[in-house]
Amino acid sequence: MKKYRVNVNGSLYEVEIEEMDAPAAGAAAPAAPQAPAAPKAAAPAGGQQIKAPMPGTILDVRVQAGQAVKKGQVLVILEAMKMENEIQAPCDGTVSSVSVRKGDSVETQALICTIA
């Protein structure tokens, strides 16, 4: 264990951090536990992956697989820190997969949908 002093907004804290061994070669690191989400579809080659910019809860999903979207169109509403954030399409295309459902909790960089 290593000890560190951390200053957070003027308050000094002493923390201990345990070093963990790296996973063996070829073994995948364990993923953080998450609530079950909708079935994940593999991203097609050349597809644009839309990922959560921050952790939060999906309040509304406004698109479905196969739907054509325009740049700037709202794909989902993500609630984070008591604010509703519109996740918009970065480009024109067709939604090839939607990986979240209303009520799902997502972490930062979680796949929301893929646009081809």
CATH no. for residue 51?
A: 2.40.50.100
Report CA Rg, the chain. Answer: 19
Is 25 contained in some domain?
A: no
Q: List Cβ neighbours of 21 (8 Å cut-off, separation of 6 or more).
A: none
Is 14 contained in some domain?
A: no
Predicted pLDDT at 83: 93
Predicted pLDDT at 41: 42
Is 113 contained in some domain?
A: yes
Whether the model clears a pTM of 0.95, i.e. scores above it, the answer is: no
Domain residue limits at 62: 45-116
Q: How many domains in the chain?
A: 1
Predicted pLDDT at 84: 94
Is 85 contained in some domain?
A: yes
Is 89 contained in some domain?
A: yes
What angle is formed at CA 50 by the lines to CA 109 and CA 108, rounded to 5 degrees? Answer: 15
Predicted pLDDT at 113: 95
**37 token code pair:** 């989400």
Q: What is the pLDDT of residues 36-79, one digit of tens each?
A: 444 444 444 558 999 999 999 999 999 999 999 999 999 999 99
Is 17 contained in some domain?
A: no
Is 29 contained in some domain?
A: no
**DSSP notation for 64-82:** -TT-EE-TT-EEEEEEETT
**CB 68: neighbour CB atoms within 10 A?**
11
